[in-house]
A and B are shown apart, each in its own frame.
Chain A
Amino acid sequence: MTAKVFIGAGAGFACDRTDAACPVASALATLPGARFLIFETLAERTLALSQLDRQRNATLGFNPALERFVGPVLGRCLNDNIKIIGNFGAANPRAAAVRIQTMAHAQGLPVPKIGIIDGDDLTGLLSPVELAAREIGGTVLRGAKEIIAANLYLGAEPIAQALDQGADIVVTGRVADSALALGPLLHTFKWELDDWDHLAAGTLAGHLLECGCQITGGYFADPPFKIVPGMADLGYPIAEIDPDGSMVITKPAGTGGRVDRLTVIEQLLYEIDDPSAYLAPDVVLDISGVAVQELAPDRVRVTGARGKSAPEMLKATVFVDGGILGEAEISYAGPNAGARARVAAETIVARMKRRSPSLVLRADAIGVVSVLGDNSGSLSRSWASDLVDVRLRFAAQSGTAAEVELLLDEVEALYCAGPAGGAGVRKRLTPRLASASCLIERRFARPQVTLVGAPP
């Protein structure tokens, strides 16, 4: 019988803590059998930004924090035979592999065998018109002339193949986040690609791990209702997976955070639509019968994933230019701050209506009504009369920078031409990317596995 597989998560998003992987790698090093450390660092938008980086410089286009994520654990993992799998390759997995080899050399480590997975990029295969015809749930791509990025979600099979070929490290671009865990399980347990319940279990393991500490106490604390000890040193998760697909979620000893029924269920349902049909490239996962059982402090057993045959079509995310977001803020404080801030907001609304009547304008009063409001929200509600610290925020978006710069200038003009005591103007312009989801025929998925760095 094959022993357990241990999969630790070193990162759960592109801007995650870069020192989180160290305790996970140290804990994995003490465990017997097959050990893997996965890094999920590729949000949808991150990939489009990486594509722009690559267009500017052919040696870039991978996660800019690659060295900070992998550098601290590279020696430990290579020495202890812990395989690293990460989607930090983003738009340029080959360049990421070169960077890892350079890192290994600089650290005096043996040259690692790196498996590079690509074939997720659709830009050369489908025209903007062909992509627009495949868009679901929107019309972002209608009439688009230029595509910034179009990547479909590859499955776990190429990752398993790279490991089968002896890779120490696997670098991918766009793959389903859950494939980062399913890949090593296919490799170790030799599950068949139509063994739906096992594929579902591996996909569930990936889903639970893919956001890193969101299952170990991150995105959770709400004292005194939900207390998380050691937030400054959250331990990232480790899944211990049995050959039958059942698993235990835990975290390294001595780290902060918590793993229990409540943290696991919140992550189980994170970004889920219909719990009986979570679509992944390799399988449709049904979590409606999943059971969660606390075994011991920070040890939770998860069982009951069921699978249905893989979806016929693959999902792709496509990005086009989304114009420019302009934001400007100003503060009012002290006695009668609310009344002065309201005059300022009404002044901006009146002037923008005159100068740019078609521009949609957002006015937030931070601390009064902002994140739970909407574009018309802050001025349509009454504010408390005793506000002493109000920060106004205005935002607008346009295809032309000049139109949003107009708003920024109007807010800055409040220094003199606004109510008394206006302070601390900040202005920012941010290029935006508009995203669309497409369903793509499987024949356009052409995953390639390339091994580099292997001594002959």
Chain B
Amino acid sequence: MTSRVVRLHDIANARSGDKGNRLNIALVCRDVAHYSAVAQQVTAERVATVFAGRRPSRVVRFDLPNLAAFNFVLDDVLEGGVNTSLGLDGHGKSLSYLLLEIPVRITTPRDGD
């Protein structure tokens, strides 16, 4: 086995949804084999760091191992939400791609393994 660092975007999909000033991001591993690496490295604490510019009051990760997926819920990161934000993206629809910038180390079988 060999390990390498990739961007989350290389191995996973993400989708944003909003409710008021709360953002959720579904993170889905394209290959279920990457689930445990993502589970170990893309913690709620790490995601809170990535979103620090939006000052989340709470970040929770829900695990869905049977779907190789996670649901991140970030409170108070939408600048008030779609009816209040001065930004262009009050829904936070683009923010799933901020999550996908996170680097993760994955192991892959070496040629011939």
Contacts and interface: CB of A to CB of B under 8 A. Distances in A.
Interface of A: 45, 137-138, 219-220, 222, 225-226, 262, 265-276, 288-292, 322, 325, 360-362, 364, 366, 370-375, 377, 393, 395-397, 432-435, 437
Contacts of B69: 265, 269
Contacts of A290: 66-67
Contact of B17 (A265, A271, A370): A271
Contact of B95 (A219, A226, A291, A372): A372
Given A137-B20, A138-B20, A360 B28 contact: no
Interface stretch (B38-46, B86-94, B102-110): B86-94
B86 A397 contact: yes
B64 A266 contact: no
A393 B89 CA distance: 13
Q: How large is the interface on B (under 10, 10 to 19, 20 to 34, 35 or more residues)?
A: 35 or more
B26 A374 contact: no
Given A225-B9, A262-B30, A266-B26, A374 B87 contact: yes
Contacts of B13: 220, 222, 225-226, 262, 266
Contact of A364 (B15, B19, B88, B97): B88
A275 B94 CA distance: 22
Contact of A373 (B22, B83, B87): B87
Given A262-B30, A374-B53, A433-B83, A289 B9 contact: no
A397 B67 CA distance: 42
Interface in B41-68: 53-54, 62, 64, 66-67
A275 B86 contact: no
Interface of B: 9-10, 13, 15, 17-22, 24, 26, 28, 30, 53-54, 62, 64, 66-67, 69, 71, 73, 79, 81-84, 86-89, 94-95, 97-98
16 contacts: A137-B20, A225-B13, A226-B13, A265-B69, A270-B15, A270-B24, A272-B17, A272-B24, A272-B26, A275-B62, A289-B66, A290-B67, A375-B87, A432-B83, A435-B81, A435-B83
